[in-house]
Structure 1
Amino acid sequence: MFKTDYAPLARPAILPDSDNRSGLPAFASVGDVLRAYEGDDAIFVLYPKKIAAAARTFLNGFPGKVLYAVKANPHPAVIKTLWTTGVRNFDVASTREVELVQSIAPSAKLFFMHPVKSRAAIRHAYAAGVRDFSFDSAEELQKMLEETGYANDLCLHLRVALPKGNAAMPLSGKFGADREAAVDLLQAARPHSMQLGVTFHVGSQCLDVEDYDRALRYVRSVLGDADVAIDSVDCGGGFPVAYPDMKPAPMGDYFSAIRKALDANGFAGLQVLGEPGRALCAQGGSTLARVEARKGRDLYLNDGSYGSLFDAAQCAWKFPVKLYRSAPRPDAGKADFRFFGPTCDSLDVMEGPFDLPADVQEGDWIEVCHLGAYGQALASRFNGFYSETTVAVMA
C-alpha cells in the first residue's frame, strides 16, 4: 500500500523503527505519506506527539485523576501513546472497551462510567477487576448489586443531570438523575458502596469555565438535601478544543476554575476525577481525503459523513482544513467549499463552509484536521467505502 522506492532527492518516507513507537507506519510529514501511498481509500493520520502533549497538560494541571474517555478514539495507538505518556486511568463504556484497554495496558485502572449497562457487561467487568461503576437510576443500582453478588468493594458513582449550561453540545438529555431522584439514589447507594461518588458532565465542548463551578455548586446542594457523605467527585469531560470560530480559554483556566470551585464547595480532600476525551486526542488526528470530482464549489471526496467526517456533517462548528495539491500550481486565492462523501446517500454532505485555495481540483488531497476525536471512531462501512489505513506523522 505504501511505496518503498523514492526519487533520489525525496526524503525517505517511512521512518526507522527506532523513531516509531506508535506501532503504525510512521512518517515525517503528511507530504511523505501522500508520496508513499498507493491505495484508493482515505487515510487516517495520528500525531502521537500532539496526543502526548495534550496528555501532559492534563497530567500536570488537572486537580485530580485523569481518566481517558476511550469512546473518543479507541485506536490501540492512541491508548498506547496515552499509557506511555503516563495516563493510568481509563473511562470505558462497554465489554469491548474493557477488553481493548486491558489487552494494551493490563495494569490500567478502568472506570465503567456508562450509566446504563447490560447485566452481562456488569458481570464481565467485575470479573475483569473493574470496581468503579456509574448509575443514574434505582433499577441500574439494583442491577449492579445483583450482578456483582452484592459485593462489598464497589465504588459507585451517581450521574446527576445538570441544569442547562453553555456547552456547544449539551448532554443532559439522555443520562443523569434529577434532583429529587439523586437525593433518593445517594441515600440508597451509600450502604452498598465502599466508596460513593457523584459524577456529572457539563456538555461537550464547554466554552465557559464557570460551568464547572455551577455544576459543583449544584452537586453540593443535592448532597445537602441528601445528607450523605461522598468520597469522590467526577467532573466528567467537556474540555474544549480550538476549532475555527471557537476560541476557548486556555486549559489552565479550566483547571484553576475547577480547583477553586472544589475548595469553595467543600470538596477539598475528596478524590477528584476528570474524563477528557476530545481534549486529549482531537488535535492529534486528522483525515486525508482525496478529491474525486469538483462541481463548482462542491467537492466530492473519498470519505464523508458515513466515514470519519460524521462530526463535520452533524456538528454546528467548523473543522480546519489544508490542501495538498497533486501537482504544483500558482496560488489562486481562497474560496468556501461544500463537501460530499462517496456514498450514494444525498445525506452524505458536509456543509462547512470549508475555506480552501480556490484552485482545488480532482486528485488533490484535503486534510480535515481535529478529527482525532469522534472521527475514525465513528466511521462505518456503508456502501463499501471505508479505510483500514492509519499512519503516524511524527511532527
Structure 2
Amino acid sequence: MFKSGSAPLARPAILPDTSNRSGLPAFASVGDVLRAYEGDDAIFVLYPKKIAAAARTFLNGFPGKVLYAVKANPHPAVLKTLWTSGVRNFDVASTREVDLVQSVVPGAKLFFMHPVKSRAAIRHAYECGVRDFSFDSADELQKMLEVTGYASDLTLHLRVALPKGGAAMPLSGKFGADRDQAVELLGEARRHAFKLGVTFHVGSQCLEISDYDMALAYVRSIVDASGVEIDSIDCGGGFPVPYPGMSPRPMGEYFSAIRSSLSAHGFAGLQVLGEPGRALCAQGGSTLARVELRKGGDLYLNDGSYGSLFDAAQCAWKFPVKLHTVEPRDQGETEAFRFFGPTCDSLDVMNGPFELPADVQEGDWVEICHLGAYGQALSSRFNGFYSETTVAVMA
C-alpha cells in the first residue's frame, strides 16, 4: 500500500486480531502520507500527540477518575496512546471491548457501564475481573446478581434518565430509570452492592455547562428520597469539541463548574467518575478521502456515510475540512461543496456545505478533521468500500 522505503503497514481494523500490535506506520505530515501511498482506499489518520494532550487536560483538570469510553474509538493505537498518557480506567460496553482492552493494556481497570447486557457478557466480564456494572431496571439488577451468584464484591452504578438539556444528541430516550424507579432501585441495590453509585449522561456534545449542575441537583433529590447512602457519582460523558457551528466553552470551565456543583449538592466526599470519549480522541483523528469526480459543486469521494462520515450524513455535522494535493499548487478562493460517498446508495450524501478551495479536482485529497471519535469506529464494509489503512502523523 505504501511505496518502497516507507514504513511497513500494519493491518489495523476496528476490533483487530490483537496478536498483531506492532503499532502504526508513522509520518511527519499528511503530505508525506500521500506521497508514499499507493492504495485505492481512504486513509484513517491518527494524531497521537493531540490524543495525549487531550488526556492530560482531563487527567489534570477533571475532579475525579477519568474513564475512556472505548466506543468512541477502539483502535489499539488509541488505547495505547491513552494508557501511556496516564489513563488507567476504561468504560466498556461489550464482551469484545472487554477482551480488546485487556489484550492491549492488560493493567487497565474496566467499568462495564452499558445498562443492558446479556447474561453471557456479564459472566465473561466478571470472570475477567470486572466488578463495576451499570443497570437501569430491576430486571437488569436481578440478572447481574443471578449471573454472578449474588457476589459480595460488586460495585453497582444506577443509570438515571435526565430531563432534556442542551446537548446536540440527547441520550435519555433509550437508557435510564425515571425518578420513581430510581428511588426504588437504589434501595434494592443497596442491599446487595459492595459499593453503590449513581451515573447519568447529559447527552453527547453538551454545549450547556449548566446541564451538569441540573443533573447533579436531580440526582441529589433521588438519593435523598431513597434514604440510602451512595459511594460514587458518575458524571458520564458529553464533553464537547469545537465542530464548525458549535463553540463550546473551554474544558476547564466544565471542570470548575462540575467541581462546584458536586460540592453544592453534597457529593464532594464521594468518588467521582467521568466517561469522556469524544473529547479525548475526536481532534486526534481524521479521514483522508480522495476526490474521484467533480460535478460542479458536488465532490464524489472514496469514503462516505457508510464509512467514517456517518455523522456528517445522518446528523448533518459540518466537520472541518482541508484540501491536500500530491503536487503543490496555489489555492485561491474557496467554494461550498457537497460530498457524495462511493457506494451505490443515494443516501450516501453529506450536504455540508464544506468550504474548500474552488479549484479542487479529481485526484485531490480532502482531509475531514475531528473524526477521531465515531468516524472509523462506525465504518462498515457496505458495497465493498472500506479501508484497512491507518497511519500516525506525528504533528
TM-score by length of 2: 0.95
**1:124 lines up with 2:124 in the alignment:** yes
**1:308 lines up with 2:325 in the alignment:** no
Matches within 5 A, 1:106-255: 106-255=106-255
SS at match of 1:192: coil
Matches within 5 A, 1:284-363: 284-363=284-363
SS at match of 2:184: helix
| Residue 314 (structure 1) shift | 1.6
Contact residue 35 and residue 326 of structure 2 kept, 8 A:
no
From the superposition, tell whether residues 380 and 40 of structure 1 become closer, same or farther in structure 2 (CA, over 3 Å).
same
> How far apart in 2 are the matches of 1:364 and 1:59?
39
| Structure 1 residue aligned with 2:387 | 387
> How far apart in 2 are the matches of 1:368 and 1:105?
29
> How far apart in 1 are the matches of 2:140 and 2:178?
15
Contact residue 152 and residue 193 of structure 1 kept, 8 A:
yes
Query: Letter of the aligned partner of 1:172 in structure 2?
Result: S
SS at match of 1:262: helix
From the superposition, tell whether residues 351 and 390 of structure 1 become closer, same or farther in structure 2 (CA, over 3 Å).
same
Deviations 1:207-240 (A, max 9, x none): 1111100000000011111111100000000000
> How far apart in 2 are the matches of 1:82 and 1:270?
25
| Aligned CA-pair RMSD | 1.2
Query: Letter of the aligned partner of 1:284 in structure 2?
Result: G
Query: Letter of the aligned partner of 2:244 in structure 1?
Result: P
> How far apart in 1 are the matches of 2:269 and 2:314?
40
Query: Letter of the aligned partner of 2:147 in structure 1?
Result: E
Deviations 1:108-136 (A, max 9, x none): 10000000000000000000000000000
Contact residue 244 and residue 318 of structure 1 kept, 8 A:
yes
> How far apart in 2 are the matches of 1:93 and 1:328?
45
Moved more, 21-30 or 38-47: 21-30
> How far apart in 2 are the matches of 1:375 and 1:27?
21
Deviations 1:324-381 (A, max 9, x none): 1243433330100000000000000001100100100100000000000000000000
> How far apart in 2 are the matches of 1:111 and 1:362?
46
SS at match of 1:205: strand
> How far apart in 1 are the matches of 2:331 and 2:59?
42
SS at match of 2:230: coil
Query: Letter of the aligned partner of 1:80 in structure 2?
Result: K
| Structure 1 residue aligned with 2:261 | 261
> How far apart in 2 are the matches of 1:245 and 1:37?
33
Query: Share of identical aligned residues, percent?
Result: 83
> How far apart in 2 are the matches of 1:298 and 1:24?
33
SS at match of 2:245: coil
| Structure 2 residue aligned with 1:374 | 374
**1:60 lines up with 2:68 in the alignment:** no
Deviations 1:170-191 (A, max 9, x none): 1110000000100111011001
| Structure 2 residue aligned with 1:37 | 37
> How far apart in 2 are the matches of 1:377 and 1:55?
19
| Residue 317 (structure 1) shift | 2.7
Contact residue 22 and residue 392 of structure 1 kept, 8 A:
no
SS at match of 2:191: helix
| Residue 14 (structure 1) shift | 4.7
Contact residue 41 and residue 302 of structure 1 kept, 8 A:
yes
Query: Letter of the aligned partner of 1:151 in structure 2?
Result: A
Contact residue 22 and residue 81 of structure 1 kept, 8 A:
no
Contact residue 304 and residue 348 of structure 1 kept, 8 A:
yes
> How far apart in 1 are the matches of 2:226 and 2:97?
34
Deviations 1:18-44 (A, max 9, x none): xxx981000000000000000000000
SS at match of 1:133: strand
> How far apart in 2 are the matches of 1:26 and 1:358?
31
Contact residue 73 and residue 374 of structure 2 kept, 8 A:
yes
| Structure 2 residue aligned with 1:25 | 25
Deviations 1:116-173 (A, max 9, x none): 0000000000000000000000000000000000000000000000000001111110
Contact residue 43 and residue 289 of structure 1 kept, 8 A:
yes
Contact residue 45 and residue 287 of structure 1 kept, 8 A:
yes
**1:86 lines up with 2:51 in the alignment:** no
Contact residue 166 and residue 206 of structure 2 kept, 8 A:
yes
> How far apart in 2 are the matches of 1:330 and 1:389?
29
> How far apart in 1 are the matches of 2:36 and 2:212?
46
Moved more, 276-285 or 313-322: 313-322
SS at match of 1:312: helix
Unaligned runs of 5+ in 1: 6-12, 16-20
TM-score by length of 1: 0.95
Query: Letter of the aligned partner of 1:381 in structure 2?
Result: R
Deviations 1:261-316 (A, max 9, x none): 00000001100000000000000000000000000100000000000111111224
Moved more, 357-366 or 315-324: 315-324
